[in-house]
Amino acid sequence: MNLYSPQQARRSIFKTIRFRAISQVSTVLSYIVLVRGMQEHAFGIYNLFYSFIPVITTLASFGLEQTLRRFQPEYLRTAKPLASAWLVRIVARARLASTLLMLAIILLAWNVIANRFDLVGYRTDFAVFGVLIILYLQTAILQLSLASHMMHQYSVGSVAAMSVGKLLAYSAITVFGSLTLRSAILADIAAYGAGYMVLSLAHWRLRIRTPQATDHPLDASERRRLTRYAVFNHLNDASSLLVYGQTDNFFIGAMLSPVAVATYAFYGRLTEMINNIMPQKLFDNVIQPMFFAVPAGESHTRLSRYFTLLIDLNLALQLPAIAFVIVYHRELVQVFFAGKYIQYSNLFPLVLALSIVPSSMSMPVSLVAQYHERAGLMLASELFGLYQVAAMLVFIPALGLYGAALSTGTFHAFRNFWIWWQMRRDVQWRNFKGVLTMGLLVWGSVIAICSLLRVFLPPLPAIVQMGLGGVICGIGALAFLRSSGISQSDREILANLMHGREAGLFRWLGLAPQRPATS
């Protein structure tokens, strides 16, 4: 059976939906417990610690994860299991070594770091957090590998297990003790440790079915190809540190305070949780191997269709989320988080709206560039980071947290549009006009209606107001899905993929032609 057939993709999508649903619900609930239970200063330190993960991931990447993500699906599609297994072993071992090296450097330089970011007295806590970083990165490698094998019951199932584990641990600590910085870190370590054990067992079972090579499974020219790709992506990763939203915390921590970090990280995390349920993020482990398994002879036509589909579907869910948050941001914080950080609730719609370009375009343009092995193009795009640094230094003192959000949002917009412009001959967004026209018409109308109802209706409880707004956004979403905001090509691809019992639902939603596609 073809590992990357539409039938296999369909099965993986439904496995992903089941486990992602558990994961997202558990993540939201655990975050509510975490925010309510932790003091603002401790929550700020906690988020600063997590900001070190992208630092270690990028500065010592050696292009490892990008190389694994790009070439393992190709090896599996062309029946080279020995090359695939060898690549996973090399990447896992090299990532462990680079992580240990970076942790040692950070701990040795701790006094310098601590003075700059108000982390004096937290060296031991960070040393404990180092165990979490190791588990986090090793887990990510196993998830990538199992996803390439289309074994999403493990790669996505482990994410669900970790999310449930965090929720149980946070809840138990809150009930029987106090949710401190150290206890939150230990809870996260326990959750990641359980997830890593599940993935390791699944990968071990996969490995024993693969014959072990007695010599090197790749010839010299292929090893040079991998090395060249890894080197370019190491430079790209090392220079892309500012792409990660967590690195904003370092600027805020240095120029403002840990409490400001907590506030900014809170709204950034809410935005991340919303973007995590968007199709691109929800099905990333399915999309990436299917994308890289496209034969070269079919890439010119198929990549543009997939590119358009990814952007259109993402915006079909992201636009209603933005419309809802624009109107009801204050009510959301009041109801679910007991009003914590509510004085900056206007930051929520700003951060979410500014995330629309990176969350919708970043993954598709990056996949196209990686498919064509244009790592040099990705590296050149990081020069926009100079703009972000300058913008942070100017806007944070002048506008505070709003300046940080503006700097990061515009940086992502400039960077992603530039990459797409350079790749425009290889891939096109075929439905730009339809999405722009219907997006402004439908969601502009929804925002206006919800705002008018808040003004002219009698005062209602916050939860009732949000429920009414949810109904209006749902009606707007149905109208958008049935409009030119979803192209005919999108509907044909979805009809070809979703041809089982779910086909009727997709046709009713307007996501598939009234008659299923025949190819």
Q: Tell me: the pLDDT tens digits for 346-355? A: 999 999 998 8
pLDDT (0 to 100) of residue 133? 93
Count of the separate structural domains present in the chain? 1
Q: Does the structure show a pLDDT above 60 at 64?
A: yes
Is 51 part of a structural domain of the chain? yes
Structure tokens given for 105: 């450097």
Q: Does the structure show a pLDDT above 90 at 273?
A: no
pLDDT (0 to 100) of residue 241? 53
Is 273 part of a structural domain of the chain? no
Give the residue numbers spanning the domain of 79: 26-239
pLDDT (0 to 100) of residue 236? 63
Is 192 part of a structural domain of the chain? yes
Q: Does the structure show a pLDDT above 50 at 516?
A: no
pLDDT (0 to 100) of residue 349? 93
Is 164 part of a structural domain of the chain? yes
Look at phi and psi of residue 457 and say left if phi exceeds 0, alpha if psi is from -120 to 50, else beta. Answer: beta
Q: Does the structure show a pLDDT above 80 at 209?
A: no
Query: How many CA atoms lie within 13 Å of 22's alpha carbon, on the beta-carbon side?
Result: 17
Confidence of residue 204 (pLDDT cuts 50, 70, 90): confident
pLDDT (0 to 100) of residue 519? 37
Is 115 part of a structural domain of the chain? yes
Is 209 part of a structural domain of the chain? yes
- DSSP per-residue string spanning 12-68: HHHHHHHHHHHHHHHHHHHHHHHHHHS-HHHHHHHHHHHHHHHHHHHHT-TTHHHHH
pLDDT (0 to 100) of residue 212? 54
pLDDT (0 to 100) of residue 3? 66
Residue 377 near residue 236 (C-beta atoms within 8 A): no
Residue 288 near residue 65 (C-beta atoms within 8 A): no
Is 279 part of a structural domain of the chain? no
Q: Does the structure show a pLDDT above 50 at 517?
A: no
Residue for token pair 């996260």 = 188
List, for residues 211-262, the tens digit of each pLDDT value: 555 456 777 788 888 888 787 776 666 555 555 556 787 888 888 888 888 8
Strand, coil or helix: what is 178? coil
pTM of the full predicted structure?
Answer: 0.72
| Averaged confidence pLDDT in the chain | 83
Is 277 part of a structural domain of the chain? no
Which of residues 201 and 155 earns the better pLDDT score? 201
User: Is residue 295 exposed (0-12), middle (13-18) or buried (19+ Cβ within 10 Å)?
Assistant: exposed
pLDDT (0 to 100) of residue 134? 93
Which of residues 332 and 514 earns the better pLDDT score? 332
Report the C-alpha gap between 194 and 136 in whole angstroms.
Answer: 11
User: Is residue 60 exposed (0-12), middle (13-18) or buried (19+ Cβ within 10 Å)?
Assistant: buried
